[in-house]
């Protein structure tokens, strides 16, 4: 089991590094971004103004799904093994979500309020809007920008908590160690996409709290559904300017 845990962790770290490196490289390299935009626009007829944002969104959602499926296969688990535990009780699932949401909001609020008091001139909501992936999806047409953050959050949740965390525990790793590792990887995943200290602070604190609470809920109840909703609600909140 120990060898399988190590193999899963090595794969997860390498996979996450490749996933994020490609993503960051494409949006930081204007030449590559323009080529992708023109290629998509030429072959699909979509406007070049949001073609790259569409590509980045699809890429960012697909990668954690593929990675999660591979990790499940490495551990010998399937979707039923992951999702059936604790999800048969709708009321319990709802209570898990409400409890987790309130706890995360309460914990996150403290450092945010302290920062706002110490730096009253800073608009945290404006800083968050300037994060690359958030500003990118705002270019997409219609109501899509309202939905994409929630969808991408669910894809991230699938990779980190629903699969990686559950798999590590299933393979014999103590829950505390699995929680620390998954939370660390998730925070890195979020912070690496920011452009300045304030963005890193906000997403770092939020990611830490979301991961910690979601992991605890999974350990206590065995339910993974609530973690999707908690993460998606926060992503939607931030991406839509805290509205």
pTM here is: 0.86
Whole-angstrom distance, CA of residue 83 vs CA of residue 78: 9
Q: Can you give the pLDDT at residue 66?
A: 96
CA–CA separation, 152 vs 149, rounded Å? 5
Q: Quick one: pLDDT at residue 67?
A: 96
What is the rounded (10 degree) CA torsion for 153, 155, 159, 161? 40
Nearest to 131 by CA among 57, 63, 62, 198: 198
pLDDT at 65: 95
Tally of residues, the chain:
243
Q: Which residue stretches of the chain have pLDDT < 50?
A: 242
- Domain range list for the chain: 2-239
Secondary structure element (H or E) that encloses residue 172, with its range: none
Q: Could you tell me where the beta strands, DSSP code E, fall in the chain?
A: none
Token representation of residue 190: 């979020």
Mean pLDDT, the chain, whole residue set? 84
Task: Tell which residue, 238, 214, 46, 222, has the closest CA to residue 127.
Answer: 238
């Amino acid at each position: 089991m120990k060898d399988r845990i190590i193999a899963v962790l090595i794969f997860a770290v390498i996979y996450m590094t490749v996933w994020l490196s490609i993503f960051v490289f494409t949006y930081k390299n204007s030449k590559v971004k323009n080529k992708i935009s023109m290629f998509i626009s030429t072959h699909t007829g979509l406007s070049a103004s949001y073609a790259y944002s569409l590509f980045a969104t699809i890429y960012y959602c697909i990668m954690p799904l593929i990675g999660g499926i591979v990790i499940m296969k490495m551990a010998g688990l399937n979707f039923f093994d992951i999702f059936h535990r604790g999800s048969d009780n709708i009321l319990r699932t709802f209570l898990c979500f409400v409890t987790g949401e309130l706890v995360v909001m309460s914990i996150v609020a403290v450092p945010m309020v302290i920062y706002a008091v110490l730096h009253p001139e800073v608009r945290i909501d404006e800083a968050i809007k300037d994060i690359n992936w958030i500003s990118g999806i705002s270019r997409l047409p219609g109501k899509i920008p309202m939905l994409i953050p929630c969808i991408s959050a669910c894809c991230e949740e699938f990779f980190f908590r629903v699969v990686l965390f559950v798999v590590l525990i299933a393979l014999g790793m103590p829950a505390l160690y699995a929680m620390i590792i998954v939370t660390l990887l998730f925070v890195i995943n979020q912070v690496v996409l920011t452009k300045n200290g304030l963005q890193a602070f906000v997403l770092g604190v939020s990611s830490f709290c979301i991961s910690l609470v979601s992991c605890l809920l999974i350990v206590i109840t065995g339910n993974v559904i609530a973690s999707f909703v908690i993460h998606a609600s926060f992503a939607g909140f931030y991406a839509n300017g805290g509205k």
